[in-house]
Structure 1
Amino acid sequence: MARTDRRTKTVITLAALTAAGIALAGCSPAGGSGDDGNGKTLKLWHYEGADSAMGKAWNEAIDVFEKETGATVEFEEKSFEQIQKTASQVLDTDAAPDLMEFNKGNATAGFLASTGLISDISDAVEKYGWDEKLAPSLQTTAKYSDDGVMGGDTWYGVPNYGEFVGVYYNKDAFAAAGLEIPTTYDEFVDVLDAFVAQGVTPLAEAGAEYPLGQLWYQLALRKGDRSFVDDYQLYKNPVDWQGPEITSATETLKEYVDKGYIADDVSSIKAEDAGVSFINGKAPIFVSGSWWFGRFVAEATGFDWTMTAFPGADLSLGSSGNLWVVPENAANKELAYEFIDITMRPEIQAIIGNSGGLPVAADAADITDEKSAELIDTFNGILDKDGLSFYPDWPAPGFYDVIVQQLQGLVTGAEDVKAVDEGLGKAYDEGTADFR
C-alpha cells in the first residue's frame, strides 16, 4: 500500500490508482532538463517498500537530488503488479514517468526495449561511467538486442543492487547435531544424510512456488559451465534436455525427496511456508535468495545463522536487481540520469549494503554491519568468478508455471525423470522458437 512521506513530493495512494483505472498522477511539466533543475519535476515510479534496503537508499537519494538540482521529485509508489500490467499502455502516452523501476529479463525489460517504449541510454552510461561500476554478469540484464534478448549491445537500464541464491544455515542446529557448515558438495550431501539419520528433514523447500525450481536449476549449474548458461538463457545453441546438466539435476532432485532431504508433501508448500520453517528453526537449511536476508535478520533471532554460496558450484542463480529505465516519452530524461547517478554513489550504495541489500558499487569500508559485510563478500566472490547465471524461468514466457508443474509431477511420482525433462524441453523450445 502507499505510504505518507515527509518529503515535498506527491504520493498517490493505491486506492486512488485503482479508481483512476491506471496508475497516473497528472501531467509532468513539458520540456527537457539541463543542469538547472529549478522549477522542474522528476516523475519517479518504483515499488520498493519504505523499510527495504532499496527504499531507504532511494529515499535518501531523493533528498540529495532535490538539494543538488533544485528540482522536485513527484514520487508514486506502485506495486510490482501495477507496473508489470500497465507499463506497455502507460509508457506509450504523455503520462509516462521520467524514471521507473522495472523487472529485468527478456519478457519484461527486453520486451519494452524491443517495442521502443524505453530509451537507449548508452550515451548516459558512457557519460557517467556506470559500465565501469558493473560486473559483466550484472551488465547482461541491462543490455538488450533489437529483438529484446538480454546480453545485447545496447543499454536500456541500469541496476544499482544485485541478488543471488545461496544456502542459509542454522548454525545452532548444526552445532547441536555435531556438524560443520559444508564447503564442498560432498560435505553438503553428508550433512543432509546426517540430519536425516537424526530424524530431521534438513531442507526447507517449496514445490508450489519458485524455491524448488531454483534448487533444480542450481543442481544443473553444478554440472554446467558458462556455455551452458549462454545456451539456456541467451539461446546461443540448442539446449540438450537429455544432456548431463539437466538429467543430473532432475535425477538428483528426485533423490532428495526419496532420501528424505525434502519433505514428501513439498509439492503443496509455498515459498512463505518454507521461509517460515527456517525462521522458526524447524528446518536447518534453506536454499533461496538474498531477498530473504533482511527478513531473517529481523525475524530469525532465536538462533545464529549464516548464508553462503551453494557449495561446490562455480555458478549461482542470481542477477542484477531490477533496473532503472527511462521511458522513451519521459519529459525530463537528463534529470532521470542525474538521479540514477546519485543512486550509484558510495554513500547511497552503503545504505543498501548496511540495510541487508546487495549494492553493486559500494566501498567495502562503508559497510559497517558485520552480517551484511559477510553477505556482500559472498556476492562479490560470485561476481569475481563471473558466476551469476540468472533464473530457470527467464528464457520463455510462462515457463515459470511449467517448471512448477513438471517438478510437482516429479516429486509426487506422477512423472519420471525422462518425462519431466521432455516436458520441460518441449515447453522451452516452443517458448523460445522466435529467438533462435
Structure 2
Amino acid sequence: MARSTSLFPIRHRRALAALAALPLAAGLAACGSSSGSSGSGSSQTLTIAMWTNPAAVAQTQKVDAQFEKAHPGVKIKLQTAPTAANAWPTLWQSLVSAKSVDVLAQFPPTPHSFPPASTGIIPQGTPALIQSGQFVDMTNQSFMKRFDPAAQKYAMGYNSGTYGVMTAEYVNNSGMFYKKDILAKYGLSVPTTYGEFISDLDTLKSKGVTPLYVAGKDGYQSIPWFGIMNQLLMQDKPSADAAALWEKRAEDFWSGAQTWNDPVYADTAQRYEKILSYMEPNAAGVPAQSAPGVWAAKSNDFPFFFDGSYDGNTIAQDNPGLNFGFMAMPGADDAGWNRPVLAPDLSWVVPTWSKNQQLAMEWLDLFTQPDNYAAWLKATGSISTEPSVPTPTLPWTDWLAAHASEGYPNVQQPWTSTKFPKVAGDVDRTKMQPFGSQTPADALKQAADAYKSAAGH
C-alpha cells in the first residue's frame, strides 16, 4: 500500500524480514485481554499505527475524524513511518514492546510463516505474536462478514482463528506500467506472451527508445524475477490451486525433492536476464522512492516500468496527462499463464493487551463500512477485499479490471530460519547478472548448495 523501497517479495521483503527477525517483546506472552469502554463521557486515546503512504494516510485520517465526531472524548493518535531504511520495523517494535498501540497495521504472514513443528523453525515477529496469543481473533467480529473468509484466513489465519483483517491487495510481482501512446506510435499492441514482449522491446530499442525503467537501487528487478517464476510454476494450473502449490513447494524444498537447480528456475533466470538486457543502463542507481515520478515525467521514453499497482495513483498525480496502463508482465509463452500475481497487503490487528479493544473494533467497523472502504480503495488504488465493494475503475486500471479475477497469491519462498544463510532462500540479484558479475547458473547453484546444507539434506 505504501510507496516503499521493498516489495513482497519485493516491496515488503525488507520490512517483513526485519519484523520476522524481531524477538518477541519481553513479557508479552503473559499479557491478558483488556477491553476499553466507548462511553461518550470518557476521555481516551486510541492509538493507530500504519506505514507511510500519503494517500492512504490521508484517507485513514478522514475515517479518524468521523470516528472522533461519533465518539466525543475520544482522540485518535495516528503514528506512521516509511518502510524504507528500517523505519517501520523500528516503530513496530517500539509500539509492541511498550504495549502502546490499539490498532496496528501488518503485512500478512500467510500460512507460509507457520512451518510445521518438525522443521524446528521458530517464527519471530508477527507470526510469533499470533502463535502466543498476542492478537485478538477477529473471526466472530461483525465486520468480518463483509469479507471473504477464505481470503482472510489465508492472509491472517492460524489454526482455527483469523487474527486480523486484510483490507488491501495489490499486484507487486509481475507488475508493469506501460505508456499507451508510445506503443501506439510504433504500432505495438500490449504484449500478451513472453515472445511478444521481447519483440516489442526489440522494436522499441531499434527506434532509439530505452524500453525499460527499473528501480535497481532498491531491488525492483525482483519484480520480473518473481513474476516469471510465478507464471512458469503455475502454467496451466487454476488460480485456486496456488496456495496449495506454494505449500507443496515449501515441503519439497525442505525434503530435498525440489531445488534451486531445477529446470524451471534456470528457465526463469534465462528469461529474466533477457528482459533486463533492455533496461536503462543506469538502473542500478535508480531509487524506488523517486522512480514513479521520473517515469511519469519521461512521456517520450521508458515505455515499460516495473512497479507495483500501489503506485498507479502516484503516477497519475505526477503527470495527469500521461496515457498509461498497468498489466502483468508476460513472462511465459502462453497468454493464459500471464495472470496478475496478487499480494495480500495492509491488514489491521488489535493486540490482546490493548486497553481500548472495544473502541478498536468500532474503528475497524467504521473503516470497513462500504462507503468508507470504497473511498479508501479509490485513493490508494488497491484491489478490493470486500466482495460487495468493487475494485474502483481508474483510467490506468483497464487491463487490471479485466484480469484481476484471474489472479492468484504470490509464490512463497522455501522455509528458512535465522540459521539459514540469506542466499538459501533466494538468489542475490545484486550479484547476479545483469546487475552483478555472477552468472545465473552460478547464482542458482550457490542458493541450492546453501539450502541443501542448511536443511541438512
Q: Distance in 1 between matches of 2:126 and 2:423?
A: 17
Which of 104, 111, 119 is matched with 2:135 structurally?
Answer: 119
1:295-314 pair list within 5 angstroms: 295-311=314-330, 312=335, 313-314=337-338
Which of 394, 398, 408 is matched with 1:387 structurally?
Answer: 408
How far off is 1:202 after superposition?
1.0
Partner residue, 1:201? 210
Partner residue, 2:260? 241
Q: Do the aligned residues in 1 keep the contact of 2:135 with 2:351 (CA within 8 Å)?
A: yes
1:111-190 pair list within 5 angstroms: 111-116=128-133, 118-121=134-137, 124-130=138-144, 133-134=147-148, 136-137=150-151, 139-144=153-158, 153-165=160-172, 166-190=175-199
Greater mean alpha carbon deviation, residues 213-222 or residues 293-302: 293-302
- Structure 1 residues 229 and 35, CA, compared in 2 at 3 Å: closer, same or farther? same
Which of 374, 380, 383 is matched with 1:350 structurally?
Answer: 374
The code of the aligned residue for 1:126 comes to N
Aligned with 2:432: secondary structure? Answer: helix
Greater mean alpha carbon deviation, residues 404-413 or residues 70-79: 404-413
The code of the aligned residue for 2:35 comes to G
Q: Distance in 2 between matches of 1:270 and 1:427?
A: 30
Which of 97, 103, 127 is matched with 2:101 structurally?
Answer: 97
Partner residue, 2:446? 423
The code of the aligned residue for 1:419 comes to D
Aligned with 1:353: secondary structure? Answer: helix
Greater mean alpha carbon deviation, residues 419-428 or residues 402-411: 402-411
The superposition leaves residues 293-331 of structure 1 with CA deviations (integer Å, 9 ceiling, x where unpaired) of: 121011133531011233433554432222211123110
1:247-286 pair list within 5 angstroms: 247-257=266-276, 260-272=277-289, 274-279=291-296, 280-281=298-299, 282-286=301-305
Aligned with 2:431: secondary structure? Answer: helix
- Structure 1 residues 413 and 400, CA, compared in 2 at 3 Å: closer, same or farther? closer
Greater mean alpha carbon deviation, residues 190-199 or residues 41-50: 41-50
Aligned with 2:46: secondary structure? Answer: strand
How far off is 1:197 after superposition?
2.3
TM-score, normalised via structure 2 length: 0.72
How far off is 1:418 after superposition?
1.7
The superposition leaves residues 31-71 of structure 1 with CA deviations (integer Å, 9 ceiling, x where unpaired) of: 6235645415252222355841x223322222332344445
Q: Distance in 1 between matches of 2:364 and 2:423?
A: 31
Aligned with 2:225: secondary structure? Answer: helix
Q: How many residues align?
A: 387
Aligned-residue RMSD, C-alpha: 3.6
Q: What are structure 2's unaligned runs of at least 5 residues? A: 1-32, 114-123, 235-241
The superposition leaves residues 78-98 of structure 1 with CA deviations (integer Å, 9 ceiling, x where unpaired) of: 3144551254454244x4211
- Structure 1 residues 237 and 309, CA, compared in 2 at 3 Å: closer, same or farther? same
Which of 360, 375, 379 is matched with 2:385 structurally?
Answer: 360
Q: Distance in 2 between matches of 1:182 and 1:155?
A: 39
The superposition leaves residues 123-163 of structure 1 with CA deviations (integer Å, 9 ceiling, x where unpaired) of: x332325265137455422123xxxxxxx543222121221
Q: Distance in 2 between matches of 1:172 and 1:218?
A: 25
Which of 61, 79, 82 is matched with 2:63 structurally?
Answer: 61
The code of the aligned residue for 1:323 comes to S
The code of the aligned residue for 2:136 comes to D
Q: Do the aligned residues in 2 keep the contact of 1:219 with 1:249 (CA within 8 Å)?
A: yes
Q: Distance in 2 between matches of 1:376 and 1:361?
A: 17
The code of the aligned residue for 2:135 comes to S
Aligned with 1:219: secondary structure? Answer: helix
- Structure 1 residues 273 and 198, CA, compared in 2 at 3 Å: closer, same or farther? farther
Q: Do the aligned residues in 1 keep the contact of 2:170 with 2:343 (CA within 8 Å)?
A: yes
The code of the aligned residue for 1:389 comes to N
Q: Distance in 1 between matches of 2:291 and 2:35?
A: 48
Q: Distance in 2 between matches of 1:195 and 1:212?
A: 20
The code of the aligned residue for 1:336 comes to A
The code of the aligned residue for 2:410 comes to S
The code of the aligned residue for 1:417 comes to P
Q: Do the aligned residues in 1 keep the contact of 2:216 with 2:283 (CA within 8 Å)?
A: yes
Q: Distance in 1 between matches of 2:41 and 2:252?
A: 47
- Structure 1 residues 186 and 375, CA, compared in 2 at 3 Å: closer, same or farther? closer
